[in-house]
A = this chain, B = another copy of it.
Amino acid sequence: MAIIVQKFGGTSIADAEKIRRAAQRTTNAVKNGFQVVVVASARGKQTDQLIADAMELDPNPSVREMDQLLSTGEIQTVSLFAMALQAMGYDAISFTGGQIRLITDSVHTKARILSIDADRIHKELDKGKIVLVAGFQGIDEHENITTLGRGGSDTTAVAIAAAVGARQCEIYTDVDGIYTTDPRIFKKAAKMKHISYDEMLELASLGAGVMHTRAVEFGKKYDVKIHVRSSSRQTQGTIITHEVPQMENVVVTGATVQKNMAKISLVGVDNKPGNAARVFAHLAQAKVVVNDIMQTEISREKANLSFTVGSADLPAANEAVGQIKDSLNCQSLFIRDDIAEVSVVGVGMRTHYGVADKMFTALAKAQINIDSITTSEIRISCVVDKSQADKALQAVSVAFELDKPPETRNE
């Protein structure tokens, strides 16, 4: 019998009525002949409430105790979900992370999954039960409770799907799939039927925050089809999967914009081995997350080194750079806190020419100046004025026909 994993987020199961509605999804899958494993997050604002309770007692709580505390939210959800299923006449059993031996490393609050006891799950499925597993949590080798960090329940779901050999992992969420670009900015954005893991990773890290990056990475590594779909509507969503041949015919799958960015440029630093490393080691120490890095030589002795960060990290980044700029013989600092980054993503770029050209032309026609450019194998990003961010995304979306789902485009 084929297995399906269904994951429900906090808003999809915030109260009894919503839990019952989610449980209907599960029983429908059972009626369709599947064995079902359900992974659930904590209900609604439960986790926020527990964090507030903790902060009242200790503003800097021990991470072990924090994990012990927060893990209870998901346990509550799955036992309640099991009761909802039982009230509908279905046999169900809920498990904590520890009960299915979801073993992680000991890095509390952002633990990584090491192994899962798939036999424990299979045994209950084979008895005809629906199995529910508390998301977001595991135990380390000493039986301490650990949590997986932001988006952890997505990761739990995909990891379990991999462990039990599920046909698909369904992620029920408040959007109905992955769009070619942000529909709030480009109204005609189209929902995609399929997207590759790599494209999703680029889009996710660029701010299309539907699925957490780690869950997608897990899916890629263990070849788990992930179906992102609406918890309130019955429509098909978007399936994240390995690339299929026709995907390569589509040069640009989607586009994103990241606002609230800032850029720091160190102008005229000594062009010596190790200088860039020193800068970024120093920034890492200051816990600044750096997005893109651009370096160009300007003479045999001097180079310009630029990087982008989230606006919130700018003060810390500025301070960190200020501390070491003299030791690099940096001639001047140039800071912009009014920038945005527009990106196009597509696995087809690997085999197609002219994408960059088409993007730059579209931006030029729209009178948008490009501050700087970075690329990866399947992505091109342009830094532009924040005031022109939406206009830039719209121009790019029109140029690459993002009003059509990728599979219907002919490029």
Contact = CB atoms under 8 A, between A and B. Distances in A.
Contacts of A243: none
Contact of A75 (B56, B69, B79, B92): B69
A80 B64 contact: no
Interface stretch (A81-89, A260-268, A310-318, A355-363): A81-89
Interface in A45-94: 50, 53-54, 56-59, 61-62, 64-66, 68-69, 71-73, 75-76, 78-80, 82-84, 86-87, 92-94
Nearest to A54: B83
A73 B46 CA distance: 13
Interface of A: 16, 19-20, 50, 53-54, 56-59, 61-62, 64-66, 68-69, 71-73, 75-76, 78-80, 82-84, 86-87, 92-94, 96, 98-99, 143-145
Given A53-B16, A56-B16, A99-B143, A79 B84 contact: no
7 contacts: A54-B80, A58-B84, A61-B83, A68-B82, A68-B94, A69-B76, A72-B73
Contacts of A58: 83-84, 86-87
A112 to B, nearest CB: 21
Copy count, this protein chain? 2
A83 to B, nearest CB: 4
Given A57-B84, A65-B80, A69-B80, 14 more contacts: A20-B57, A53-B76, A54-B79, A61-B83, A64-B93, A65-B82, A65-B86, A65-B92, A66-B79, A68-B78, A68-B82, A69-B75, A69-B83, A98-B98
Contacts of A69: 75-76, 79-80, 83
B57 A80 contact: yes
A71 B93 CA distance: 16
A19 B86 contact: no
Contacts of A93: 64-65
A143 B94 CA distance: 12
A76 B61 contact: no
A47 B256 CA distance: 46
Nearest to A78: B68
Contacts of A66: 79, 83
Nearest to A93: B64
A202 to B, nearest CB: 38
A106 B375 CA distance: 60
Nearest to A83: B58
Nearest to A60: B87
A92 B64 CA distance: 11
A255 to B, nearest CB: 43
A100 to B, nearest CB: 10
Contacts of A86: 58, 61-62, 65
Contacts of A94: 65, 68
Nearest to A99: B143
Contacts of A76: 50, 53, 69, 72
A33 to B, nearest CB: 25
6 tightest Cβ-Cβ pairs between the two chains A and B: A72-B72, A58-B87, A69-B79, A58-B83, A16-B56, A68-B79
Nearest to A98: B98
A16 B55 CA distance: 10
A79 B65 contact: yes
A68 B72 contact: no
A20, A65, A76, A144: residue with the most chain B Cβ atoms closer than 10 Å: A65
Given A57-B87, A76-B69, A82 B62 contact: yes
Contacts of A143: 98-99
A406 to B, nearest CB: 41
A144 B75 CA distance: 13
